[in-house]
Structure 1
Amino acid sequence: MGETVNFQDLFKKSMLHLESFRSISYIDVLIGLMASFSIGLFIFYIYKKTFRGVVYSYNYNVTFVLMTMITALIIMTISTNIVLSLGMVGALSIVRFRTAVKDPLDIVYMFWAISAGIASGAKLYPIALIGSLMVGLVLLWLSRRKVREQPYLLIIRHSEVAISDVRSQLRKLNYTLKSKTVRKDYIEMTIEIRLRDDNTAFVNVLSAIEGVNDVSLINYTGDYAQ
């Protein structure tokens, strides 16, 4: 009968000899990094193409490329040695991210980058490439299928003289009153409206009303602080 190798012997062998590093193929490492880099660039393009927020952040988008490559590096590292895998799990368990993610769709892109990095690091290139292609096409399709009515916040500051004229103009719009502030010298209203196109001629009409101090139209993404 052959010699029985238990988990303790395997652990000692992995820790002391690190024989798994001798079989590392630098070509496989390069291919994995290039695959993760290519998929990261694809995620970069899809995010930029489908972004619907107010301010686009280039630095935030670049993190998806780096996240994909770094995840692939981690998977390639821990797959070579059991000690490193346990140490990496312990190290990553204490990592805390303080940056608040306001858009839930950004979390999807993060998981996408991590999943593509895991697949690339594990040499599952068909899964990484085909899966990323399908996810990207779905995101593009959903972004184009999105309702064309875009939400906006219309902020009007006017005096009491313009109340009737402002109300008559607002009746022509499909609006929802979000807030109203009444002060001694002016009234400020924040209204949510939805527009199908870029026709904003009503802003000029409202600003031309006597007693209206100013009119502001802001793209509404769901986060608004009074």
Structure 2
Amino acid sequence: MKNDVLQFFQNDLSVNINAWSFSVNLTIAAILAYLLSLIYTRFGNSLSNRKNFARNFVLLAITTMLVISIVKSSLALSLGLVGALSIVRFRSAIKEPEELSYVFFAIAIGLGLGAGQRLITILAFILISGIIILQKLMAREDQRSDSMVMNIISGSSQINIDTLIDLLKKHSRTAKLRRIDEEEGKIDASFLVKLADVDSYQQIRNALKEIDSNIEITFLDSQGIY
């Protein structure tokens, strides 16, 4: 029985890998990981140096593919891999969830090609990359809108919420009330407005100043606020 077990592990360690198939998969992994690095550099949201971080994707993908190609048909090597990974500690922290997502994407490329799932890996890469690019383009369309946050503070009795809404609707495409505080004759209101053109700001400012010369008006970029 003991000899049978030893013989099993000895045979299991003899892993035969087709050199041509391995080379093709390794090349595909490098190409897909490189394309992933371009996508991350172009469409990522991270504030860190995306180009430097993206350089790791190719090495990560091909290394993962190498490991999976070796251990996939060997129980002994698989158990050894589990033991090795159990003592690994990563010292460099992933600061943003997006970075972790792209790291998993690169690992998935290596896993798929290492397991010999060439077609599925390529199709999945195309679909996932398409979703990433589409989401980014849609987000940019939203960011291109002229929406701004307008904060108004006034102590004049002539300024009330109805007056503000009517005036903003007259000089902007849309005006949505986000917050209002009224206390002791003072009004503090915030609106999300979509300006009709570049002159709308000055028109709104002049109209409000005609009613209350001491009114405080603040415009802020709406991106990331609402």
**TM-score normalized with structure 1 length:** 0.59
Task: Look up the match of 2:212.
Answer: none
State the SS of the aligned residue for 2:220. Answer: strand
State the SS of the aligned residue for 1:136. Answer: helix
Gaps of 5+ in 1: none
Structure 2 counterpart of 1:128, from 118, 121, 141? 121
Matched, 1:175 2:173: no
* 1:118 shift after superposition: 0.9
1:122 and 1:206 map into 2 onto residues whose CA distance is 63
Root mean square deviation of aligned Cα: 4.8
**Paired letter, 1:137:** G
* 1:130 shift after superposition: 2.7
Is the deviation greater in 66-75 or in 197-206? 197-206
Task: Look up the match of 1:212.
Answer: 216
Gaps of 5+ in 2: 210-214
State the SS of the aligned residue for 1:175. Answer: strand
2:196 and 2:83 map into 1 onto residues whose CA distance is 52
* 1:36 shift after superposition: 0.9
Cα separation, partners in 2 of 1:76 and 1:207, compared to 1, 3 Å:
farther
| Residues 14-93 of structure 1 aligned to structure 2 (within 5 Å) | 18-20=13-15, 23-24=16-17, 27-48=20-41, 50-51=43-44, 53=45, 55=47, 57-58=49-50, 59-79=52-72, 81-93=74-86
Could you tell me whether the CA contact under 8 Å between 2:37 and 2:57 is conserved in 1?
Answer: yes
Show CA shifts across 1:57-85 (max 9, x none).
Answer: 52444444444333223312423654432
**Paired letter, 2:220:** S
* 1:207 shift after superposition: 5.9
Total equivalences in the alignment: 208
Could you tell me whether the CA contact under 8 Å between 1:157 and 1:188 is conserved in 2?
Answer: yes
2:38 and 2:97 map into 1 onto residues whose CA distance is 20
Cα separation, partners in 2 of 1:121 and 1:218, compared to 1, 3 Å:
same
* 1:115 shift after superposition: 2.2
1:205 and 1:63 map into 2 onto residues whose CA distance is 51
> Bigger radius of gyration, 1 or 2?
2
2:180 and 2:42 map into 1 onto residues whose CA distance is 36
Could you tell me whether the CA contact under 8 Å between 1:69 and 1:117 is conserved in 2?
Answer: yes
**TM-score normalized with structure 2 length:** 0.59
State the SS of the aligned residue for 2:112. Answer: helix
Cα separation, partners in 2 of 1:37 and 1:132, compared to 1, 3 Å:
same
